[in-house]
Amino acid sequence: MSEPVSKLSRRTLFAGAGTAGAIAAAASFLPQVREALPELTAQAKPEKGGGYILSEHVKRYYKTTLV
């Protein structure tokens, strides 16, 4: 009987090595991204419900919707 043929080819090997390299590169940037994020502060919930806050992010969005 013949021995089983391995499914590992050169293409599969290089694709796996490339994926592993990309993951390693992304993981090296995570500490820098975490430092760049501003600290989120917890705000008290409104007594009468709602909770809509007109933040700078929302104002920027509204500016982009103007025609």
Domain count along the chain: 1
Q: Is the overall model pTM greater than 0.75, yes or no? A: no
- In the chain, where does DSSP find H-type helix? 10-36, 56-64
Q: Distance between CA atoms of 65 and 67, rounded to whole angstroms?
A: 6
Q: Is residue 57 assigned to a domain?
A: no
pLDDT digits (tens, 9 = 90+) for 10-23: 888 888 899 999 98
Q: Is residue 22 assigned to a domain?
A: yes
Q: Is residue 24 assigned to a domain?
A: yes
Containing structural domain, residue 20: 8-38
pLDDT digits (tens, 9 = 90+) for 15-54: 889 999 998 888 887 766 556 556 666 667 767 777 777 8
Q: Is residue 3 assigned to a domain?
A: no
* Residue 29 token pair: 């940037």
